[in-house]
């Protein structure tokens, strides 16, 4: 098992949806991220600069959501993965998104995995 940092239930506000009416008001999506950092936990020496600062990741994902409206959660998911892999010391990211839009469901969502090497 790889050392993994987990951010569970991150609420991100953004304008998203296929019909214009749906994008007219912001929605809250819930994101669950699993990050495999470049450095394993045993080599950190209690130094934050040697690991992934999960607060900074969470803030950057929220900023990304606020940048512009989108139609598809798939688009936003790909953008989040690209930012996490390019801006942070992360080798792999698994991302789940929950969208609360359909009646009679808890949520609709997706799960994806990306890495710097493949994906």
* Three-state secondary structure readout of the chain: CCCCEEEEEEEEEECECCCHHHHCCCEEEEEEEEEEECCCHHHCCCCHHHCCCHHHHHHHHHHHHHCCCECCHHHHHHHHHHHHHHHCCEEEEEEEEEECCCCCCCCEEEEEEEECCCC
User: pLDDT tens across 5-41, in order?
Assistant: 999 999 999 999 999 999 999 999 999 999 999 999 9
Mean pLDDT of 57-61: 98
Q: Is 5-115 a domain of CATH 3.30.1130.10? A: yes
pLDDT category, 93, cuts 50, 70, 90?
Answer: very high
* Each residue's pLDDT tens digit, 1-12: 799 999 999 999
Q: Is the pTM of this model over 0.85?
A: yes
Both tokens of residue 51? 């690991």
Question: Taking all residues of the chain, what is their mean pLDDT, rounded to a whole number?
Answer: 95
- Give the torsion through C-alpha atoms of 38, 60, 117, 6, to 10 deg: 60
Assess whether pLDDT exceeds 60 at residue 104: yes
């Amino acid at each position: 098992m790889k050392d993994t940092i987990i951010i569970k239930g991150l609420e991100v506000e953004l304008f998203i949806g296929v019909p214009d009416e749906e994008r007219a008001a912001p929605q809250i999506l819930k994101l669950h991220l699993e990050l495999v950092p470049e450095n394993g936990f045993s080599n950190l020496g209690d130094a934050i600069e040697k690991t992934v600062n999960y607060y900074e990741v969470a803030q950057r994902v929220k900023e990304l959501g606020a940048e512009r409206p989108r139609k598809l959660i798939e688009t936003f998911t790909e953008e989040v993965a690209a930012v996490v892999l390019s801006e942070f010391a992360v080798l792999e990211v698994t991302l789940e998104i929950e969208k609360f839009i359909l009646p009679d469901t808890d949520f609709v969502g997706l799960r994806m995995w990306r890495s710097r090497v493949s994906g």
